[in-house]
């Protein structure tokens, strides 16, 4: 796979994503697929929901062209179709969970064989644990999609990190670099319309399917021995989502109930604009990419890089909680900022 071919893949996926998104901006309102504000919502006007169709179909189409594992692409499309129907009509938590479990089981069964414990833990048990983690990742990707541009930025960051690892480490194949290039392009094309103020939202069809696809990419890193890097790249999403759920459990709150308690949402509710909060996370992600690259040097450096990554994620959540992300007076920030969108539905109400 040459550099010129990567450029062609990037331009093609980018343009197809833009064309698809423009089409959906006009089609989705006609289908009455609008994300209307409700009491706990944080956006103020109805916005078309379901734009992830453009991202997923552009990405999956060119992933097949580039020779990606067709089983995983098909599973991504299956999950996207189920999630789009959920966007349209609504599905039960059990149906959504079964669909995710089927997609994860299918994806794991077609992954290269690897072991995390060196044979100490039975292989079947390892796969079962990985499947549970993958399902958790799918759902955290979904309910972390709560303000304009955040999941697009996170997808680009993880894919860019995998691409960077391929540039510096031979264990990451050119195929993974090509897949990352396509995902970056498809997400970026949609991101032009999803940046604050967003003209269209991903919907479950986008956030759930992207969670599945990015989870697969991270598991491939684990299979190649880079489990520290796989945990470092999504560190902010993993920390914010997991810690918020744990905090709600500890305080006796209903974890099945929608909420706007994620740290990045607290920052927006305190007056920080969506785009400023997303830029703060993106800046952290740049550091995470560097830490992920460093983690591949040896095991000791990997553990140190992992610890630093989650310390940085913790510090950013503290900053968000304190409301210290504003670069303008609170009154001006509050006037210019649109409240964060809430898209949180926790397990077992899985979106």
Question: Tens of pLDDT along 264-308?
Answer: 988 888 888 899 999 999 999 999 999 999 999 999 999 999 999
Q: Is 36 helix (H, G, I), strand (E, B) or coil?
A: coil
pTM for the model stands at 0.89
The total of other beta-carbon atoms located within 10 Å of residue 126's CB is 17
Task: Determine the Cα–Cα distance for residues 38 and 342; give it in Å rounded to an integer.
Answer: 9
Question: Which residue did the predictor score with more confidence, 156 or 89?
Answer: 156
The Cα–Cα gap between 268 and 42 comes to: 9
pLDDT in tens, 219-263: 999 988 899 999 999 999 999 999 988 888 888 886 656 667 888
- Identify the pLDDT of residue 39: 52
Q: What is the arithmetic mean of pLDDT over 325-336?
A: 47
Instruction: Report the helix count and the strand count for the chain, using DSSP H and E.
Output: 14, 2
Q: What tokens appear for 350 in the block?
A: 């899985």
Given a cut of 80, is residue 208 above it in pLDDT?
Answer: yes
pLDDT band, very low/low/confident/very high, at 44 (cuts 50, 70, 90): low
Residue 327: which H helix or E strand, with range? none
Q: At what angle do helices 70-88 and 52-65 cross, to 10 degrees?
A: 170
Q: How far apart are CA 290 and CA 96, in angstroms?
A: 36
Q: What is the pLDDT of residues 143-185, one digit of tens each?
A: 899 899 999 999 999 999 999 998 887 667 788 999 999 999 9
Provide CB contacts within 8 A for 194, sequence distance 6+.
Answer: 51, 148, 149, 152, 200, 201, 202
**What Cα–Cα distance (Å) separates residue 131 from each residue in 1, 134, 234, 346?**
31, 5, 17, 18
pLDDT band at 325 (very low <50, low <70, confident <90, very high): low
Summarize the confidence of residues 311-330 as an average pLDDT: 78
CB 343 within 8 A of CB 37: no
Q: Is the pLDDT assigned to residue 132 strictly greater than 50?
A: yes
Cis peptide before 348 (omega within 30 of 0): yes
d(CA 78, CA 247): 33
CB–CB of 103/75 below 8 Å?
yes
SS3 content of the chain, % helix, strand, coil (to 5): 70, 0, 30
Which range has the worst mean pLDDT, 45-54, 127-136, 189-198, 258-267?
Answer: 258-267
> Can you give the residue ranges of every domain in the chain?
3-39+47-336
The predicted pLDDT at position 233 comes to 98
Q: From CA 182, how far away is CA 51, in angstroms rounded?
A: 17
């Amino acid at each position: 796979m040459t550099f010129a071919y990567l450029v062609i893949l990037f331009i093609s996926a980018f343009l197809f994503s833009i064309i698809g998104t423009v089409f959906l901006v006009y089609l989705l309102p006609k289908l009455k697929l609008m994300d209307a504000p409700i009491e706990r919502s944080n956006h103020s006007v109805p916005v078309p929901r379901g734009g992830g169709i453009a991202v997923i179909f552009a990405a999956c189409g060119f992933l097949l062209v580039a020779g990606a594992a067709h089983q995983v692409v098909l599973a991504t499309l299956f999950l996207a179709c189920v999630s789009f129907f959920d966007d349209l009509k609504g599905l039960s938590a059990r149906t959504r969970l079964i669909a995710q479990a089927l997609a994860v089981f299918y994806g794991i069964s077609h992954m290269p064989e690897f072991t995390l414990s060196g044979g100490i833990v039975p292989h079947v048990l390892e796969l079962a644990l990985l499947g549970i983690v993958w399902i958790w990742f799918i759902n955290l990707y979904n309910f972390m999609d709560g303000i304009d541009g955040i999941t697009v930025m996170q997808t680009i960051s993880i894919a860019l990190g995998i691409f960077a690892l391929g540039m510096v480490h031979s264990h990451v194949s050119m195929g993974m670099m090509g897949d990352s290039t396509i995902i970056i392009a498809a997400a970026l094309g949609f991101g032009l319309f999803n940046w604050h103020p967003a003209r269209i939202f991903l919907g479950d069809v986008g956030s759930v399917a992207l969670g599945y696809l990015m989870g697969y990419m991270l598991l491939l890193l684990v299979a190649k021995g880079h489990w520290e890097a796989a945990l470092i790249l999504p560190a902010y999403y993993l920390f914010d989502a997991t810690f918020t759920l744990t905090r709600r459990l500890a305080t006796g709150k209903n974890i099945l109930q929608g909420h706007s308690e994620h740290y990045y949402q607290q920052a927006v509710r305190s007056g920080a604009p969506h785009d400023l909060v997303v830029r703060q996370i993106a800046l952290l992600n740049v550091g995470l990419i560097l830490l992920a690259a460093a983690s591949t040097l040896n095991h000791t450096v990997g553990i140190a890089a992992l610890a630093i990554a989650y310390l940085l994620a913790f510090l950013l959540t503290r900053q968000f909680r304190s409301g210290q992300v504003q670069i303008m007076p609170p009154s001006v920030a509050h006037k210019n900022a649109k409240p964060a969108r809430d898209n949180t539905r926790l397990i077992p109400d899985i979106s």
